[in-house]
Amino acid sequence: MGIRQAFDKPVVLIQEKGTPKIFDIAPLRYLEYSKEMKYHEVLESPKSLQEAIEATKAAEGDSGNINSIVKLMALSSPAIIPNLDNSNKEVLALDVMRSQMNDLKMMMEMMVHEGRKGISRRSSIAAIEYERIVNKLDKISSLKMDIEQADREYTKLMRDTEEIMMNCGGELDHRMFKYLMDKIYRQREEYFSTR
């Protein structure tokens, strides 16, 4: 949704009734649904969704596009994809690599800094959990399992990683689990793309 909003593409927002409005998109129009849908609501929902999509599509390009962050924030223009020739692609690839190297360098510096201060009990527990999840991730990639079983395993790992990441105390631990979450997601996508 963020990418569509940045490029000022039409978006239809859907939200469960009674849930709090998300602060950065609260001014936008959205379609509400009830999780306890009754039979007649189930029959009407596709019609309401179709009307919202058609209204949003019809408003596209108008000055009154109702779900346009660009217009809401009075930005001069939406994001654009730069036209890259081969030399620019190499520069972009180098910039991405440089950024990742800087992230790794910062992570290593934080690890060294944390190591000098002494490892707390909380950090050692985080390290044990990190190792457990990495071992499980390696095991999943080496096992032959069906798509559904693999999906369950990857989902469980992501859930475990997210829970630990949300509860870890230090910035270093949080960053390590964020990198691990990214690794799990990339490996999951790679696993499913080869099946």
Per-residue pLDDT at 24: 64
Tell me the sheet residues that pair with 7: none
Per-residue pLDDT at 60: 66
Instruction: State the Cα–Cα distance between residues 158 and 152, nearest whole angstrom.
Output: 10
Per-residue pLDDT at 176: 82
Instruction: State the Cα–Cα distance between residues 53 and 13, nearest whole angstrom.
Output: 10
- Which residue, among 71, 89, 54, 95, has the nearest Cα to 8 in the 3D structure? 71
Q: How far is CA 166 from CA 35, 131, 147, 163, 184, in A?
A: 27, 17, 28, 5, 16
Identify whether the C-beta of residue 185 lies closer than 8 Å to the C-beta of residue 137: no
Per-residue pLDDT at 124: 67
Per-residue pLDDT at 23: 66
Instruction: State the Cα–Cα distance between residues 190 and 46, nearest whole angstrom.
Output: 34
**Mean pLDDT of each 10-residue bin along the chain, 195 residues long:** 78 82 71 81 84 79 64 75 70 80 76 57 69 84 79 89 81 81 85 75
Per-residue pLDDT at 119: 47
- Which residue, among 160, 135, 150, 143, has the nearest Cα to 193 in the 3D structure? 150
Instruction: State the Cα–Cα distance between residues 107 and 109, nearest whole angstrom.
Output: 5
H-type helices in 60-120, by residue range? 69-72, 86-117
> Can you read off the two tokens belonging to residue 26?
């609260």
Rounded to 5°, the CA angle 81-84-85 comes to 165
